[in-house]
A and B are shown apart, each in its own frame.
Chain A
Amino acid sequence: MTIIGRVSRGYNATVFSLAAISGTIFGCMAFLIGMDVLLRNVSGTGLNWVVESMEYALYGATIFAAPWVLRTGGHVSVDIVTSSLPAGWGRRVEIAAGLLGGVICTIVFYYSLIATWRAFERGSLVYKTFTIPEWWISALVPFCMFFMIIEFSMLLKARKIDS
């Protein structure tokens, strides 16, 4: 197998595993909250960490699944114009949109990386139930955008081969 083939297989596996983690997180949320409610009503003491963990879970699960959802076409988009254009024009608009999407994600990637770096440099901590470094949390945004950029370029590549 070529190196490119191996890299792309590894990449695909990563995107799928991230999505699987996301689904698992969504699935587990209800049970943790349920446990908290149950314990609070039975023993009077709930699980202190549940509220904040659920907030991070929501964030993490969305970040992890977003690239995969882009691949499967699950992000809602308004395709009323592109689908009504003649085929040739439709494809041109689609390619332009794919390029634009890639550029947008690159910009978000760049600035979220800076935001993360600044939080790291400053040593900012978030003081809630848990005290954690702020950059651990903000790093997930560039992480997600990195995959989004690759997904957009793969979409573009697929379009080009189509035409």
Chain B
Amino acid sequence: MLWSTALALLIGMLFFFLLLGLPVAVVFFGVNIIGAAIFLNGEIGLIQMTRNVVTSITNYSLVPIPLFILMGEVLLHSGMAFKAIGAIERLITRLPGRMAVVSVAAGTVFSALSGSTIANTAMLGRSLMPEMLRRGYHPTLSMGPIMATGSIAMLIPPSALAVLVGSLAGMSISRLLIAGIIPAILIAALFFLYIVIRATYRPQDAPAGDLPARQSLLERWKPFFVYVLPLSTILIAVVGSLLAGIATPTEAAALGVIASFLIAAAYRCLTWQALKAILTETAQTSTMILFIIMASTTFSQILAFSGATNGMVSLITAVGADPFAVLVMMMLILLILGCFVDQVSMVMITVPLFVPVANAIGIDLIWLGVVYLLTMEIGFLTPPFGLLLFVMKGIAPPEIRMSTVYKAALPFVLIEFLVLVLVLFFPGIGLWLPSLVQ
């Protein structure tokens, strides 16, 4: 079989199974069963596939994934997040679109404390959205910033998805984690600008009459010192230790979890009820990601044995393609995939092909990694299939239609896309910070 036929067959099957609505992990098992039977010598290939399930997951570098998710769940279910949001809200006054700005600010802060986009979106959505709708904010201006900043959680360490990309693509996980920080801050700043400008020119979208009663300086700042500042311990434990190069991602993750639990305990927020919710949600989200990894590892092996990997590499090196043009192509493929599949699948489908190509033609792997992170982030918000769009629809009042959710995300998707283009032309936005470490 020609490698291109094999590739078309494998990807085609994958999409067919996906669109049937099967769980993604089961889809990968299904495609791998057929692929192993054809390309890995039939039954022995199927046995090998089940053995690979074990090797794929008994991998120490994947340990930060559940830990980073756990950090987000602690923040959410202990209620610390809600107190912190309240405190941040008091500080931001007299800005057009104040509440939307609060959600960007709080979302960015929480991004450094949580590695789960879903938990972050839920935190912001449950606390800020009802309030914004009540005060007469336009639905798109209440939901958009929440979903969009929720997705920043995967750019700033702790980030479960950055660990996934780094570990499967053989990049330095620490460097990739650090590389996301500046693009994330840039994105948050542009969100802020957009909100302020929109609220200024369309005040009907963000009613100004939402200022809290005048407070003294102490009244305004006290909650900040009580509920936000102590959280910086978590930030130091994770982002700080990574930036200083004194902890491996796994150690940073463990420190982050311990710090989160200690702070929650210090606030007396750690009830049995909360603990149960924390562990339940962690098990749910982590298993969702890790089970896909278990199921899909053999997919890259099948691509290699079908000749698709080598075929793709020699095709691209033979035509002498410009690395930049190839990277742009990869970006486009990821963006399109991101419309239709989840983030883990985006990685599992493309890494076996993209990484050998990148190595062969000399694309900086961390640069590629940042492109991965940004396209995955955009994929959270692009219809028809965007996980955070669904999370938001689940939180929003029932009268809000899916099309309104899409509309709310659109301007923020465009901003993220703009930053993605900037990273392509100025790779330093992503690569400068990791270059300082080591």
Is there direct touching of A and B in the complex, by C-beta distance under 8 Å?
A: yes
Whole-angstrom distance between the Cβ of B120 and the nearest chain A Cβ = 17
A97: nearest residue on chain B (CB-CB)? B20
Asked if B374 is an interface residue, CB under 8 A from chain A, the answer is no
Interface residues on A, range: 35 or more
Residue of A nearest to B295 (CB): A108
B422 at the interface (CB under 8 A from A): no
Contact residues of B between 20 and 37, Cβ < 8 Å to A: 20-26, 29-30, 33
- Contact call B254/A74, Cβ cutoff below 8 A: no
Is B47's CB within 8 Å of the partner chain A? Answer: yes
B89-129 CB mask vs A (1 if < 8 Å, else 0) is 00000000000000000000000000000000000000000
Known A75-B25, A78-B18, A93-B20; judge A24-B279 contact (CB<8 A). Answer: yes
Please name the residue on chain B nearest to A116 by beta carbon: B50
Inter-chain CA distance A55–B59, complex, in Å, is 5
- Please state if B286 and A61 are interface contacts (CB–CB under 8 Å): yes
Report yes or no: B29 in contact with A105, Cβ–Cβ below 8 A: yes
Q: Please determine whether A22 and B283 come into contact, CB atoms closer than 8 angstroms.
A: yes
Residues on B with beta carbons closer than 8 Å to the beta carbon of A34: 254-255, 257-258
Find out whether the CB atom of A23 lies under 8 angstroms from the CB atom of B282. yes
Alpha-carbon separation in the docked complex, A62 to B255 (Å) = 22
B80 at the interface (CB under 8 A from A): no
B404 within 8 A of A: no
Find chain A residues with CB under 8 A from B385 CB. Answer: 78, 80
Q: Is B23 within 8 A of A55, CB to CB?
A: no
A residues less than 8 Å from B21 (CB atoms): 77-79, 81-82, 93-94, 97
Provide the residues of chain A in CB contact with B22, threshold 8 Å: 77, 97, 100-101, 104
Give the chain A neighbours of B250 by CB distance below 8 A: 33
Could you tell me if A33 and B283 are in contact, using CB atoms closer than 8 angstroms?
Answer: no
Contacting pair B387 A76 (CB below 8 A): yes
Q: List A contacts of B279 (CB < 8 A).
A: 23-24, 26-27
For A56, the chain B residues whose CB sits under 8 A away are: 58
Among A19, A27, A58, A104, the residue within 8 A (CB) of B70 is A27
- Interface contact tally, CB-CB below 8 A: 180
Query: Is the beta-carbon distance between A26 and B282 smaller than 8 angstroms?
Result: yes
Partner of B20, one of A51, A59, A70, A82: A82
Q: Mark B residues whose CB is within 8 Å of A.
A: 17-26, 29-30, 33, 43, 46-47, 49-51, 53-54, 57-60, 62-63, 66-67, 70, 247, 250-251, 253-255, 257-258, 278-280, 282-288, 290-292, 294, 340-342, 344, 384-385, 387
A33 to chain B, nearest CB (A): 4
Instruction: Enumerate 23 A-B pairs (CB-CB under 8 Å) in ascending A order.
Output: A22-B283, A26-B66, A27-B282, A37-B255, A62-B291, A62-B294, A65-B286, A66-B287, A69-B284, A75-B291, A77-B21, A77-B23, A77-B24, A78-B24, A78-B342, A80-B340, A82-B21, A101-B22, A105-B29, A107-B46, A108-B29, A111-B49, A111-B50
* Contact A74 to B287, CB < 8 A, known contacts A34-B258, A107-B46: yes
Query: Distance in Å from the Cβ of B411 to the closest Cβ of chain A?
Result: 23
- Assuming the A-B contacts A33-B254, A69-B288, are A112 and B70 also in contact, with contact meaning beta carbons closer than 8 angstroms in the complex? no
Complex CA distance for A104 and B33, rounded to whole angstroms: 8
B20–A81 CB distance below 8 A = yes
Q: How far is the CA of A138 from the CA of B294 in the complex (A)?
A: 13
Task: Please give the distance in Å from A22's CB to the nearest CB on chain B.
Answer: 5
Q: Is A137 an interface residue (CB 8 A)?
A: yes
Q: A23 to B53, Cβ gap below 8 A?
A: no
Whether A61 lies near B24 (C-beta < 8 A) is: no
CB of A150 within 8 Å of the partner chain: no
- Residue numbers in B under 8 Å from A154 (CB-CB): none
> Quick one: given A55-B59, A76-B342, A97-B21, are A105 and B26 in contact (CB under 8 Å)?
yes
Does any Cβ of B come within 8 Å of A114's Cβ?
A: yes
Q: A1-41, CB under 8 A of B: which get 1 and which 0?
A: 00000000000000000010011101101110110010000
Minimum C-beta distance from B22 to chain A (A): 5
Cβ proximity bits A96-123 to B, threshold 8 Å, 1 near / 0 not: 1100110011011001101100100000
Known: A30-B70, A97-B22. A51 touches B283 (CB 8 A): no
Closest to B58 in A: A55
